[in-house]
Structure 1
Amino acid sequence: MKKLVYIFTYKLPDVSGESNGNGVIKKIWNQYEIFRKSYDTYLLGYTGNQIGLFHEDKITIMPNSFLKVPRRWNLFAAGEKIAQEMGASFFYIRYGFSDGIFVKMLRAIKKSGASTILEIPTFPYKRTFYRDRLLHRLIMRPLDCHYRKKLFHYVDRIATFSEDRKIFGIPCIHIVNGISVNSIPVRKPVPHKDAIHLIGVASMRSSHGYDRMISGLSEYYRNGGERKIVFHVVGDGPELPKYKDMVEKYSLQSHVIFHGPQFGEALDELFNSSDVAVECLGCHRNNIFIESSLKSREYVARGIPMISSCKIDVIPEDFPYLLPIPGDESPVDISEVLKFYDKVYKAEPVETVIQKMRAFALLHFDMENTMQPILQEFERMKSENE
């Protein structure tokens, strides 16, 4: 069986595949499960402050090539060593940004005769990656802009969720951001008549736009709204203090509840008690108008209707379980949310809603299906090299 090495600048999952609620790590594990059905697959990533190579339920600590440097230097140095010594046929790399040590690893992979597919999760990534941090603007951005021009010498294909035919001069494979649907629990609705419960699970960045929902609730009650709505905010992040200040300012403590990060059964219980999920309400702030987030997939897989201000790539415009709202800075129109809620749950039993959404998820973005273009491309490369 040919060997495949998957390299990423994230923490390795533990030997059981546990991701501790990190959606990216969960996705990496699910991709690993798909790859290992066809190839002898290795994962190269972080374990604490060290570099680990995961293979067959065992993590091997790789020796550091550098001292007192960013971890990614030692990660890519380990990748270079693996390319020189392991005899792997394929490398799949989740892209962060380009610099000299990254390109040096790619050069070693190319020299070894292996084929490389680079996955770029978000493109264009300028606003989402560089943000406003001084380190990003003054160091990482110039490095990336310089070294990414060299990628076409060493990378065979780029896997992207965008519609680009080429990125950095490299032909693209168009894929759908998939999840392992069967790993997502189905919502088990808890009957309640006291209120309409909304839930938003996020890392609380500006692009999530939950301030628009809080402002909308404030306007609804200030204008005499009578139906009780509770917005459950799950997670942590840089925008959380702002959200808490808004709730206090508008006296919405009984309508917005902050739960902090939640995982496992605790998170499942919150979903079971909720009626509508809140997806991205601020993607326009990053000039993104079509999104493919893992969270949108999870909401559909769980069977919970959702609200979004951004078009979701795999969901058609007539999807009855999605309420599209304007992609701007206006407060969420709560009256439209209430109409959506009434329309969904008066049209059919909640169990039917859940069943239909789950079936849609299995058909359209289960990873068994979405990873096929990658596997087919690796097979094509293998045939060419034999």
Structure 2
Amino acid sequence: MLGQVVTDNASNNMGAKKLLLEKRPQIFWTSCAAHTINLMLQGIGKLPRFRKVIDQAFWKDVKLMLAVFEPLVKVLRLVDGDVKPSMGFLYGELLKAKREIKEAFGNVESRFKDVMTVIEKKMNGRLDSPLHLTAFLLNPHYSYANPSIFDEPKMNEAFISCVEQFYYHDEDQQEQTANFELKKFQNREGPFSKKLARTFQNYDYNPASWWQLYGTETPALQKMATRILSLTSSSSGCERNWSGFEGIHTKKRNRLTTTRLNKLVYIQFNNRLMNNREKIKSKKITDVLLSSDTTEAQGFLQEGGDDCAQVVFRDEEEDEMEGTWIPWSVIGEAVGAEEQLEPRRSARVRL
């Protein structure tokens, strides 16, 4: 069984990490991806060029800011959503985001250096752990497109580290996974060579399911890959569950027993989840990060949350600002054209 702990980057959690790994070395500990990417966005937002945008070059800076923030916000949607396990995509999408940000600055190092410094500082030691790198390596979406990934020393070191931790004290399985089965995957032998095994261009595919189907001749690696690629990279799901408890049980309102409280939260959470999935099926896909009040997840879990969290539905026919992915209605709201009079609650991202 694969054990994983995901926490934010608070100092007390960092201390707990050391204690946990000393006592349970076979457990994986990772930083919360959503929290870390939020820190990236906060750090970039504090840079002088973005903090002081009300000047003669305001709109030029706005366009540049959108181009810089868009790639990271896309990654934040990935890790903060419930569509698919994000561990296998996080590192690859962060690399893609960094490339797109550099392109936004014309690939001129002197222009993007400070932004990259913020990203690297927040990412190092948090979102580039052996677990993240191994998930990236084992996701055929990336390794089939770029086989040179297998030649990178840090990837090999990360993979071996994960093998030793996953098959803790089982040297036979470690040897089988690292010395034999990985080569079959790398060289696309057996089922990995099938034409159907290469038809995963759709970004929405599930890499864990892919391994269950095509990894039958590499059972040790299949087991490890399936478990790792099924992991989350964010603690957002726990936060939504905590919001459900807070919305139902308060000292001022009632004193429910633990059993009854758990049942009420279970019913409310799943009811909201079913309603949300019905919206997705009807193509009225809600965007958590475009909520005009607080995060949609918190809104639909809190009592009366649907009244105060105004969910934005993406209209496929709505005009978007040229060169961006953002509808004009959202931009108008951001600059205050449709500003509401009622006070706003604090959002997840504070710039």
Q: Normalising TM by the smaller chain, what interval?
A: under 0.3
Higher helix share: 2
TM-score w.r.t. structure 2 length? 0.25
Higher relative contact order (CA 8 A, sep 6+): 2
Higher strand share: 1
TM-score w.r.t. structure 1 length? 0.23
